[in-house]
């Protein structure tokens, strides 16, 4: 059985989603062979009432830019809700969600600092940062800088400050971080400050980028980038399992490459925020083999849209960490 979502969604002239105009929604499970008939019935029923729906939609306040009203256009959306985890992965996810050793709130203050250090080392290592774990620990705990590139130290400092800030807001403050465009831009700005220009830190890119190690090319047009980003942030709400939501956000933000640089660092931070919101310890590793598997999983998603390789890596790291402590 596959999960499907059928509904009406509204787009302004820039292609952005407006959840406030979401007029009709139906979520269900069925076999693929049954989908066409269900869609036919939905369209027939929507057609009968669409004139009334349209009237209601156009009487809502529309976004205003200068003297021009942006009129919403109702669009019937047939969206397959991708089942990110297979059956075996769902069982692993349930194990993680139910296990007390996965809880972020149970960590002591010294364990939280150690988590922040190893997570920053992990995130930096993926980007080719040359600091060793010992050097990373000395930098972040004791402010001792190694004789290496300034950019490497700055990258780790930015990661650490952002991670600790989010951790304190969510874990200590008992808050939920809303993962929306504002949060994403703020996180990117914190991660990239001093590493990219002020005009590009915390702003969507206006020029093309390439990703090493893959033939996949991210969208170049700002209109397309913004529309896809809005879609990603909107669709995350369909995933009630926080582990699935974390994987969904990480993979899709990384694939879109919405910023000029620091995209994977930002996507890993967003993944971690999604986990922190659910009181789950974020994914990390200090092993070279895991860094390689991370890259392989992400490239597989870039090129095929298949979550399975990265999801397997993501879940296995969580289970492995728990079993090492037990």
Q: Give pLDDT tens digits for 288-307.
A: 999 999 999 999 999 999 99
Q: What is the pLDDT of residue 23?
A: 40
**Is 262 annotated as ligand-binding?**
yes
Q: pLDDT tens across 40-81, in order?
A: 566 656 555 544 544 444 444 444 444 444 444 444 444 556
CA geometry: angle 210, 212, 214, nearest 5 deg: 90
**CA-CA distance, 34 to 51, in Å (whole number)?**
28
In tens, the pLDDT along 131-164 reads 999 999 999 999 999 999 999 999 999 999 999 9
267 among annotated binding-site residues: yes
* 295 known member of a binding site: no
Phi and psi torsions of 14, nearest 5°? -95, 0
273 pLDDT tier (thresholds 50, 70, 90): very high
Domains in the chain: boundaries: 7-11+20-80, 87-325
In 3D space, the residue among 82, 177, 159, 87 whose CA is nearest the CA of residue 120 turns out to be: 159
Query: Is 114 annotated as ligand-binding?
Result: no
Residue 268 in marked binding region = yes
Instruction: Look at residue 21 in the predicted model and tell me its pLDDT.
Output: 36
Whether 186 has a binding-site annotation, put simply, is no
Residue 109: pLDDT above 80? Answer: yes
Residue 261 annotated in ligand binding: yes
Give the integer Cα–Cα distance in Å for 263 and 279. Answer: 24
Q: Quickly list DSSP for 248-282.
A: HHHHHHHHH--SSS-HHHHHHHHHHHHHHHTTBPP
- Fold exhibited by the domain 87-325: Fic-like fold (1.10.3290)
At 45, list the tokens.
Answer: 């029923």
Mean pLDDT lowest among 24-28, 90-94, 239-243, 295-299: 24-28
Give the per-residue pLDDT at 30.
60
C-alpha closest to that of 232 among 211, 209, 255: 255
What pLDDT sits at residue 16? 39
């Amino acid at each position: 059985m596959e999960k499907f979502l059928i509904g009406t969604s509204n787009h302004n002239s820039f292609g952005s989603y407006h959840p406030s105009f979401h007029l009709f929604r139906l979520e269900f499970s069925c076999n693929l062979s049954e989908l066409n008939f269900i869609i036919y019935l939905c369209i027939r029923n929507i057609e009968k009432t669409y004139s009334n729906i349209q009237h209601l939609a156009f009487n809502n306040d529309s976004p205003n830019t200068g003297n021009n009203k942006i009129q919403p256009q109702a669009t019937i959306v047939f969206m397959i809700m991708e089942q990110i985890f297979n059956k075996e992965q769902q069982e692993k996810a349930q194990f993680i969600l139910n296990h007390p050793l996965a809880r972020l709130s149970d960590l002591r203050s010294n364990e939280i600092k150690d988590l922040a250090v190893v997570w920053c080392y992990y995130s930096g290592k993926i980007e080719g940062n040359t600091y060793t774990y010992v050097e990373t620990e000395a930098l972040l705990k004791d402010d001792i800088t190694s004789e290496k590139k300034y950019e490497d130290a700055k990258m780790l400092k930015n990661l650490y400050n952002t991670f600790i800030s989010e951790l304190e807001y969510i874990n200590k403050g008992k808050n939920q971080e809303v993962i929306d465009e504002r949060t994403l831009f703020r996180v990117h700005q914190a991660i990239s400050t001093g590493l990219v220009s002020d005009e590009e830190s915390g702003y969507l890119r206006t020029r093309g980028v390439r990703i090493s190690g893959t033939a996949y090319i991210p969208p170049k047009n700002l209109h397309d980038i913004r529309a896809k980003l809005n879609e990603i942030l909107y669709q995350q709400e369909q995933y009630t399992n926080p582990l699935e939501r974390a994987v969904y956000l990480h993979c899709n933000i990384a694939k879109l490459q919405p910023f000029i640089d620091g995209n994977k660092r930002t996507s890993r931070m967003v993944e971690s925020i999604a986990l922190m919101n659910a009181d789950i310890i974020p994914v990390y590793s200090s092993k070279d083999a895991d860094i390689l598997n991370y890259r392989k999983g992400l490239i597989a998603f870039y090129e095929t849209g298949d979550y399975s390789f990265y999801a397997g890596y993501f879940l296995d790291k969580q289970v492995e960490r728990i079993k090492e402590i037990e």
